[in-house]
Amino acid sequence: MADIIQLLPDHVANQIAAGEVVQRPASVVKELLENAIDAGSLTIKLIIKDAGKTLVQVIDDGKGMSVTDARLSFERHATSKIRNADDLFLLNTKGFRGEALASIAAIAHVELKTKQEDDEVGASIVIEGSNITSQDVVVTPKGTSLSVKNLFFNIPARRNFLKSDTVELRHIIDEFYRVALAHPNIAFTMYNNGSESFNLPISNYRQRIVNIFGNKTNEKLVPVDEDTEVLKISGFVGKPEYAKKTRGEQYFFVNNRFIKSAYLNHAIASAFDGLLKSGTHASYFLNLTVNPQTIDINIHPTKTEIKFDDEHTLYALLRSAVKHSLGQFNIAPVLDFERDANLDTPYSYSNSETKPSTPSVTVDRSYNPFKEETSFKSTPQPQKTSYKKESTEHWESLYVGVESKSNVTQQDFSEVQFESEQATASIFSDDNQIEQVHTTYQLHNKYIVSTIKSGMLVMDQHRAHQRVLYEDFLKNITVKESVSQQLLFPLELHFTTQEVVIIKELKDDLESTGFIFSNFSTESLEITGVPVSVPESEVSIILEQLISDVENEVPDSHFSATDLLAKSMAKSLAIKTGQSLEKNEQEHLVNKLFACKEPNVSPTNKTTFITMSVDELDKKFI
């Protein structure tokens, strides 16, 4: 029998390896930026065209490479970072696998220009699909310039899996944020399709955060600083009142490397326990410095997951450090046992002596409640007559009008009893004479129970209201006949640069729903009108939810963009679970739901109501 196992060709092996390292253009951006940082650069420039599908170029002023190193850098498992397996647990650099450039070169057109400081000329290498097409001597500045063009040109199937340009650009910006936040001592510049998107000068950590997320972020930050033998924590957490419904501004860095850790994220959440509204998440930008021997970075191809030697200790230290900072800066309530008791005394009495004084009681000894007869004519209660024996001269006047009052009281009771008999009689009248009324009942402030001809209907109030609002917004956006209410004072909202860009792209559709925008800047926008159904206090929440939905699921077609906008606004404005509704509100919601085109499901294709027939109810009692 012939042998069936064979070695893969190098170009096929490189393409398979590229599937682990390069998932999308953002993966190329991450690898190239990390290589530039390892080269000791002080200035790094990132150039993007067509969301990285056409061009990803990184230019740095690092130490550069020799001709031999430039050629070897594209070989598989060629690296200058490690010499043996033990070095994997002593890493202080970014790229160490030696797979990045080889994988990128296997699926793209790559052009490398590099020069060391002491050399007069540099080297230029052009590679297409792992094949070196040219190698020349060029005049180039000190450092390295690496251009990656036509990503996945030889793997069309992988290229088809890429999302729209907006989605891919969002992922590139996320990687740019992560690298830039980890290294505030390096200047970063990013260009997208010829225009400058970010210009981040060398600064401290707080300034870097503000430069990325906007000037309004500065007032939201609370410093965290803790240094122990096991762990050093530095950075900032966001104040609870600025918590968002999304997890966008949550960054962990371990030894200047961005990581994702649900376990450590839970430590932050527990530190904010009792301070956040339900469904919101605190922002944090935390740097953790640990001994490289206590972590294992080499457990995931993208190196965003790290295994810690003692996670429980890190959890406790991180939670305590954040709690301490929140209490130290009066963000969280604390018990202060060293409070000066003199603070309880008003300032005006701080130096005066307090003299005890006995309260005085004055009595009007000449007061006689029986002195005036008129005071008892309107009061049919003679109880006090037995306690005053000195005034018995006009005792008959106490009972004047009592008999007539008693008769009136009896007459009143008889009338009430007569009305009650009439109401009781109407209840037990013939059933055919009573008009049947459909009634509703709210169950646990979550479901609305209503009677139908065949039995009973149970409706989810949140999903049902989503369907009603969704179809209303979709109609308004499509027909462009929405009603807007003008605000007495313009509403100014602050967002990051990229969030403002997203809102600008959706400006026309938002105006079709009733929003009116008067001014846009790089980090803020001004609203002068909102839809009639939208409270002013909900505007910022709606836009934040909309931005989150767009970032996670940006559609390609205009119709899909309209659909997503209607879904997002309906989700934000729908009646929440736990909200009590009046009878007329319950009936109105039921009627509005069944007036919709598709009342059976919510905008997210979840069931809005169920029905139960009388026969099904009867079977429950068998």
pLDDT at position 224: 92
Stated pTM of the model: 0.68
- The CA distances from residue 329 to 141, 241, 352, in Å, are 48, 14, 34
Rounded CA-CA distance 421/123 in Å is: 107
Rounded CA-CA distance 60/58 in Å is: 7
Q: Do 27 and 7 meet the contact criterion of CB atoms below 8 Å apart?
A: no
pLDDT at position 223: 92
Give the count of beta carbons closer than 10 Å to the beta carbon of residue 588: 14
DSSP state for residue 153 in the 8-state scheme: T
Reading the block at residue 552, the tokens are 């996670």
E strand segments, 220-370: 221-227, 232-238, 250-254, 257-259, 284-289, 295-296, 307-308
Rounded CA-CA distance 81/58 in Å is: 21
Which stretches in the chain have pLDDT values below 50? Answer: 96, 375-379, 382-388, 405-406, 408-410, 413-436, 554, 556-559
Gap between the terminal Cα atoms of the chain: 69
pLDDT at position 333: 59
**What residue ranges define each of the domains in the chain, with the CATH number in brackets?**
10-202 (3.30.565.10), 212-328 (3.30.230.10), 447-611 (3.30.1370.100)
Instruction: Tell me which long-range contacts 474-478 makes (C-beta under 8 A, separation of at least 24).
Output: 474/562, 474/563, 474/566, 476/512, 476/513, 476/514, 476/531, 477/509, 477/512, 477/513, 477/562, 477/565, 477/566, 478/512, 478/562
pLDDT at position 286: 93
pLDDT at position 553: 61
What element of type H or E holds 508?
helix 507-513
Give the count of beta carbons closer than 10 Å to the beta carbon of residue 94: 22
Rounded CA-CA distance 315/308 in Å is: 11
Rounded CA-CA distance 310/303 in Å is: 19
pLDDT at position 403: 55
Rounded CA-CA distance 58/68 in Å is: 21
What does the DSSP assignment read for 90-140? S--SS--SS-HHHHHHHSSEEEEEEE-TT-SSEEEEEEETTEEEEEEEE--
Contacts of 139 (CB under 8 A, 6+ apart): 121, 122
- The CA distances from residue 587 to 224, 448, 465, in Å, are 52, 9, 12
Hey, CA dihedral for 326, 329, 331, 337, is it positive or negative? positive
Rounded CA-CA distance 513/477 in Å is: 5
Residue 253 φ then ψ, to 5°? -125, 125
DSSP state for residue 281 in the 8-state scheme: B
Rounded CA-CA distance 600/598 in Å is: 6
Rounded CA-CA distance 132/206 in Å is: 44
